[in-house]
Amino acid sequence: MKSYVTLFQAQKRYVATYGGLPLSHEDVLSKYQNEKVRCTTFAQFTSAVVPKLEDLEDHIGRWRLNKWLFRVPATLTSQAEKDDLMAQLSMLKEKWTEFVRRRESVRADVAVVTHSLGLSAATRDIFAVTSRDQIQGHITALRWNGSVDQARQVRAAWERLEKAGASDGYLLERMCCVYGLMRNNCFNGAFANIIKRDGPSGKVTFDSSDALRIAGEVILTNVPSMDLYFAFLGYNPRGYNGALAQYMALNLHAKHNKAYDRRVGRGGQGNIVLFESTSEFLYQAANTQRLLHVVSGGEGATLLATLVIVASPNRYEREGQIPKQKELDGISRRLGFVVGVIPDNVRVRVLFLPPNYVDEVSLSRLHETMGGLYAEEFTNFTGQYHRELSKEDKDFEHQRNTLPQEEWSAL
């Protein structure tokens, strides 16, 4: 009997340590949103969230309990869900490690520049205290005095800082990593109760604050659509098809000044009309990777339809995804019949998107399709999106380049 009790206690500790089931986006919002940390401007949000992200990255850099793949909820019964979570955690670990290394490299470069300029070693944002012209003058003075090697080091450090040294660099991806840990629901308290030693004074302090929760509250309170960017940047193993429909619908409703319930279309059951008006609508059939965006200039006018297709990860399946001219002609006839437009006045084109994430070029084409307007919650992050196609997607890039995505096909 004693062995059974011991086993039960061990299992109870295991479940308590690694949490329950992963959270949905609605659960994350209800758990982490805090009106006390709401910001009124994007500049205020940036100044609030960047120090929190840096503190969390410092914690992760010193984290000793870094058994990432062990942080899969023990209560999950589906092996497919476990595999998805392990793949997601592996990706998050790789990204966090990359950000930690980048911060260490930035600190080293800042130390080189500040030491040469005679600034305080505690300078955090070098761009706030100096400019490129000042650095150029300083480098010229060093060379004039014969310190050529030092001038070369300062120049190389400054060039690296200009490329990736801003404190808000890669902000969107860093926030997605925080969001991924919160969705996992197994990192509660993982970055709290940390013993730290102050370098100059050598004083040992005990930090009981939860760095993950502090950063998560600021992010989720001010950016409630993190789940869409999380999927767009490729952190969701199941793809971004559902997030794409939500993203387009939110932007189109903002364009037409209509309220939109984010819960619409999440079930994936039946044919879902995400947006509809007299001149524009977005349509998605259930369990497909296709959306149809239609814009009409009015009765009897030209009807412009964009068939948005999410590519399959399998390059051979992608060949069959690209519609032939007969299929586009069929779409033109059907749209003309449904909307009441002469088929000759219907124009159709194809927007072919990457299989696992949305790159910067595809995102710009997507917004051109919707009329170039953003919902307010996406406006501030247009300049933060820097996702490029990877080397593994050369086949898709070739297929996309051979497809005339900007040309309208007439019947």
The 10s digit of each residue's pLDDT in 75-109 is 777 888 888 888 888 889 888 888 888 888 888 88
Query: What confidence tier does 269 reach under pLDDT thresholds 50, 70, 90?
Result: very low
Tell me 408's DSSP state: P
**Residue scoring higher pLDDT (69 or 112):** 112
Specify the pLDDT at position 163: 77
Lowest mean pLDDT among 35-44, 58-67, 218-227: 58-67
pLDDT at 286 over 50: yes
Residue-level pLDDT at 341: 80
Inter-axis angle of helices 25-32 and 171-184, to 10 degrees? Answer: 100
**DSSP H or E segment with residue 375:** none
> What confidence score (pLDDT) does residue 73 get?
78
Q: Tell me the helices (H) and strands (E) count for the chain, helix number first.
A: 15, 8
Tokens of 33: 């949103």
Burial (CB count <10 Å: 0-12, 13-18, 19+), residue 204: exposed
Residues 27-40: b if buried by 16+ CB within 10 A, e if exposed: ebbebbbeeebebe
For residue 268, what are the CA distances in angstroms to 33, 178, 289, 411? 27, 27, 11, 31
Residue 265 reports pLDDT greater than 50: no
CB–CB of 397/59 below 8 Å?
no
Q: What are phi and psi of 38, to 5 degrees?
A: -70, 140
pLDDT at 280 over 60: yes
Q: Is the dihedral of CA 395, 397, 399, 402 positive or negative?
A: negative
pLDDT over 90 (residue 230): yes
Alpha helix (H) residue ranges in 118-170: 132-144, 148-164
Asked if residue 45 lies in contact with residue 218, where contact means CB atoms within 8 angstroms, the answer is: yes
Residues 6+ apart with CB under 8 A from 297: 279, 303
